[in-house]
């Protein structure tokens, strides 16, 4: 049975912490592959600085350690005309894969904030019944408590827990450092190709803000 770990998120941009979390989750469930699912631009547009969807996908797919860890990014969200519900996105990916008999067991990686509100999601019941989940738990959080409070205890066997550090580097921290021009700090927080892209991206953004015409 081939297992795949699906990780939805904005990845604006992807960080080393995202990659470390993905590899930890992959090991926890013995998955064969990792698929990041960058969100539609509509979901990310409220961020002060939006890296376009096609760039977020490309940055993940060109990370130096992608091939050796069998991980890549999906365009299913970023190329969609309209943003999709998570259940529909995951099911679309499942249907596409099962046509080719590549993967037949699916694990979705979610933060505890998402698990706590899972029963408010679109089609939450078939979502929980049809898929397995990896819960990213920080210090002080408790998966069983969250499942009990969300009335999800009957699906407890569908959840696997991994611990993530309290100082988990967020995309927003990386963006804040970039906006301050503190790229030496950013260098340690993101893959090499992402770091090189961010330098170019913020240089263009700053020059445009100053009214300079940029011919790209």
Q: In terms of residue numbers, what domain contains 162?
A: 3-166
Predicted model pTM: 0.91
pLDDT digits (tens, 9 = 90+) for 55-80: 999 999 999 999 999 999 999 999 98
- Beta carbons of 64 and 192 less than 8 angstroms apart: yes
Is pLDDT of 41 > 90? no
pLDDT mean over 201-210 = 78
**Lookup: tokens for 211:** 């009214």
In a domain, 195, yes or no: no
Residue 13: cis peptide before it, omega within 30 degrees of 0: yes
Share of the chain above pLDDT 90, in %: 74
Tally of structural domains, the chain: 1
- CATH code where residue 109 lies: 3.40.50.620
In a domain, 199, yes or no: no
Q: Which of 22-31, 149-158, 200-209 has the lowest mean pLDDT?
A: 200-209
């Amino acid at each position: 049975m081939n297992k795949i770990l699906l990780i939805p998120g904005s990845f604006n941009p992807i960080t080393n912490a995202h990659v470390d979390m993905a590899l930890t989750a992959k090991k926890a469930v013995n998955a064969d592959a990792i698929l990041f699912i960058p969100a539609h631009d509509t979901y990310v547009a409220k961020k002060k600085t939006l890296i376009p969807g096609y760039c977020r996908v490309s940055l993940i797919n060109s990370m130096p350690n992608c091939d050796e860890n069998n991980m890549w990014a999906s365009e299913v969200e970023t190329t969609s005309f309209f943003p999709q519900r998570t259940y529909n996105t995951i099911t679309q990916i499942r249907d596409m894969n099962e046509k080719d008999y590549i993967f037949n067991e699916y694990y979705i990686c979610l933060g505890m904030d998402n698990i706590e509100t899972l029963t408010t999601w679109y089609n939450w019941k078939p979502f929980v019944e049809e898929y397995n989940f990896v819960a990213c738990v920080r210090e002080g959080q408790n998966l069983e408590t969250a499942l009990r409070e969300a009335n999800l205890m009957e699906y407890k066997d569908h959840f696997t827990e991994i611990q993530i550090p309290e100082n988990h580097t967020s995309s927003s921290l990386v963006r804040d450092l970039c906006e301050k021009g503190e790229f030496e700090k950013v260098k340690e927080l993101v893959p090499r190709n992402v770091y090189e892209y961010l330098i170019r991206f913020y240089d263009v953004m700053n020059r445009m803000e100053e009214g300079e015409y940029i011919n790209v």
